[in-house]
Amino acid sequence: MNGSEVASAPAAIDAGEHVLDESGHFHVTDAPIDLGHYTIEAWLGFAFFWLLALNVFYQFFTRYVLNDSAAWTEEIARYLLICMVFVGVAAAVRTSRHIHVDFLYRLVPRGAGRLLSTLVDVVKVVFFAFATVLTWQMMEKMANYKMTIIDLPMNIVYGVCMFGFACACLRSIQVAFLNWRRGYSALERPDKADEIAA
């Protein structure tokens, strides 16, 4: 790097945002934190995550520190993981964060892409509605089943799964309506995915 390049580097920095004042102190202001866009299912998924983390820590502590492992932690960890995933599904549906392939939409005409995207929205709603009904039917048939180690009904776990499916169905309807009103979805316009998720 020669002298002229070194001299031009501060000029490039000065052209941007100033983070140092005249005395050389560093000044940065954080963006305001907005938690308002998180929904009830996102907060529940977050709560299940931390319950799972505490459960696993307790399991680790009793096994390796006390040398007397708590037997119930293994089963509860499985159930908490299931609950976290099924409730988290609804949060991911609302922000269109599920894995999807948008390459096909670059190859087909815009009208065909819009039709295909609408079909995907309808299939998502039908799938989550059907999964909700199936979970309810399974809960009715397994009403007398108990957890293996803890004497609690298994329908607690299945009820959380059904809640997740029902929320995902409602969020799918919401996303489908917004996609229809906007005129495109994240499948058709992946460049706008961040704006759609906001």
Query: pLDDT truncated to tens, each residue of the chain (198 aa)?
Result: 444 444 444 444 444 556 677 777 777 777 788 777 788 888 999 999 999 999 999 999 998 888 888 888 999 999 999 999 999 999 889 887 777 777 777 888 888 888 888 899 999 999 999 999 999 999 999 888 998 888 889 999 999 999 999 999 999 999 899 888 888 887 777 666 666 665
Q: Is residue 17 part of a domain?
A: no
Three-state secondary structure string covering 161-177: HHHHHHHHHHHHHHHHH
CA distance to 3, 50, 108, per residue, from 46 (Å): 53, 6, 39
Cβ 98 vs Cβ 172: under 8 Å: no
Question: What domain range is 43 assigned to?
Answer: 37-197
Q: Which residue has the tokens 């020669």?
A: 2
Please give the DSSP secondary-structure letter assigned to residue 103. Answer: S
**CA triple 176-125-48, angle to 5 deg:** 100
**Would residue 1 count as lying in a domain?**
no
Q: Is residue 159 part of a domain?
A: yes
Question: Is residue 30 situated within a structural domain?
Answer: no
Contact call for residues 53 and 7 (beta carbons, < 8 A): no
Percent of the chain as helix, strand, coil, to the nearest 5: 70, 0, 30
Statement: the pTM of the whole predicted model exceeds 0.85: no
Asked if residue 9 belongs to a domain, the reply is no
Cα–Cα distance, 7 to 102 (Å, whole number): 46
Is 11 a domain residue? no
Residue 127 lies in a domain: yes
Q: How many domains does the chain contain in total?
A: 1
Distance in angstroms (rounded) separating the CA atoms of residues 16 and 158? 54
Q: Is residue 14 in some structural domain?
A: no
Amino acid 4: pLDDT: 47
